[in-house]
Amino acid sequence: MSCGSLFEDDGRWLAEAPEIRGVLTYGATADEAMAEALALRALAERIELVAT
C-alpha cells in the first residue's frame, strides 16, 4: 500500500490512501495529512483482519 499527498490552493495538504476508496485527509502540513491517512489505512487493515 502507498499514500500520497498534494498541496491544495487553500494552503492545506491533502493525503490519500488509494487502496482504500474514499480515504482523503487534510492537514496543516504534509506530514500531518500523511499521518492521518496512514492511521486510517492501519485501522482499515485491522478491521479487515478481524472480519476474516
The helix (H) or strand (E) run that includes residue 35 is helix 30-51
> What pLDDT, on a 0 to 100 scale, did the predictor assign at position 19?
78
Q: Kindly list the averaged pLDDT for each block of 10 residues, start to end, along the chain of length 52.
A: 78 86 88 90 88 82
> What pLDDT, on a 0 to 100 scale, did the predictor assign at position 32?
93
> What pLDDT, on a 0 to 100 scale, did the predictor assign at position 3?
67
Query: Which of 42, 11, 10, 6 has the alpha carbon at shortest distance from 24?
Result: 6
> What pLDDT, on a 0 to 100 scale, did the predictor assign at position 1?
46
Query: Which of 45, 12, 25, 11 has the alpha carbon at shortest distance from 3?
Result: 25
The helix (H) or strand (E) run that includes residue 6 is strand 4-7
What does the alpha-carbon distance between residue 9 and residue 26 come to, in Å, rounded to a whole number? 12
In the chain, domain spans: 4-51
